């Protein structure tokens, strides 16, 4: 992992999440950064050829997973980063084929925040800023019972630099 830019704060990751999980042998191992000045979350992404749908083109499901993660993480901007929210609705628009083995940036932000739900949005961008895919989502606070089931995993939700 590269050195953290001074204006960005590294967000925690989990053990086995497909997108951010440190220990998932099949995962993308993405790092996410809070950019408070821009009110957004970002991640540098290079999608390996192993996650293609068509030759040289990233699978739409992998793009959905990345956008689900970056939009969901936006809810923690300026908040307690140990709060867990879940996606209730995810809408995607694939604007252009997203190439594999190419530097991309995933960006997420909050559109409207309420006490137990929020509208969030995000994009996947090429290095020149061209948007290849975009998402709108609704995230919600999970039930107390669900949070209790996840309690043991909370110890593994942390910032971990290589």
DSSP secondary structure letters along 42-110:
EEEEE--GGGEEETTEE-HHHHHHHHHHHHHHGGGTTS-TT---EEEEEEEEE-SPPBSSSEEEEEEEE
**29 or 162, which is more confident:** 29
- Over residues 85-112, the mean pLDDT reads 97
> In degrees, to the nearest 5, what angle opens at C-alpha 24 toward C-alphas 62 and 149?
95
- The pLDDT assigned to 49 comes to 98
4-13, 45-54, 119-128, 136-145: the lowest-pLDDT one: 4-13
Q: Is residue 92 part of a domain?
A: yes
- The pLDDT assigned to 151 comes to 75
The residue with tokens 């949005």 is 121
The residue with tokens 């039930």 is 143
CATH of the domain at 43: 3.10.129.10
- The pLDDT assigned to 30 comes to 97
Q: Is residue 2 part of a domain?
A: no
The model's pTM is: 0.91
- The pLDDT assigned to 80 comes to 67
Predicted confidence band of residue 81 (pLDDT cuts 50, 70, 90): low
Q: Is 111 helix (H, G, I), strand (E, B) or coil?
A: strand
Q: Is residue 108 part of a domain?
A: yes
Q: Is residue 133 part of a domain?
A: yes
Q: Is residue 156 part of a domain?
A: no
Q: Is residue 34 part of a domain?
A: yes
Nearby residues of 9 by Cβ (< 8 Å), 6 or more positions away: 33, 34, 36
Average pLDDT score over the chain: 91
- The pLDDT assigned to 2 comes to 46
- Is pLDDT above 50 for 1? no
Which helix (H) or strand (E) covers residue 117, if one does?
strand 117-126
- Is pLDDT above 70 for 44? yes
pLDDT digits (tens, 9 = 90+) for 113-148: 998 999 999 999 999 999 999 999 999 998 888 888
- What's the domain range around 143? 9-147
Q: Is residue 158 part of a domain?
A: no
How many structural domains are present in the chain? 1
How far is residue 23's CA from residue 14's CA, in Å, rounded to a whole number?
A: 8
Q: What percent of the chain has pLDDT over 90?
A: 73
């Amino acid at each position: 992992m590269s050195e953290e830019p001074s204006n960005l704060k590294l967000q925690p990751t989990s053990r086995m999440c497909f997108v951010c999980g440190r220990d998932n042998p099949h995962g993308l191992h993405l790092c996410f950064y809070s950019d408070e000045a821009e009110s957004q979350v970002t991640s540098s992404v290079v999608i390996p050829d192993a996650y293609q749908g068509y030759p040289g083109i990233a699978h739409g499901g992998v793009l959905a997973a990345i956008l689900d993660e970056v939009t969901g993480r936006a809810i923690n901007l300026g908040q307690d980063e140990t709060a867990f929210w879940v996606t209730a609705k995810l809408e995607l628009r694939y604007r252009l084929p997203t190439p594999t083995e190419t530097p991309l940036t995933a960006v997420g932000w909050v559109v409207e925040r309420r006490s137990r739900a929020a509208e969030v949005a995000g994009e996947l961008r090429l290095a020149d800023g061209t948007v290849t895919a975009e998402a709108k989502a609704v995230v919600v606070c999970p039930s107390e019972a669900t949070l209790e089931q996840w309690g043991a995993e909370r110890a593994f939700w942390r910032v971990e630099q290589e």
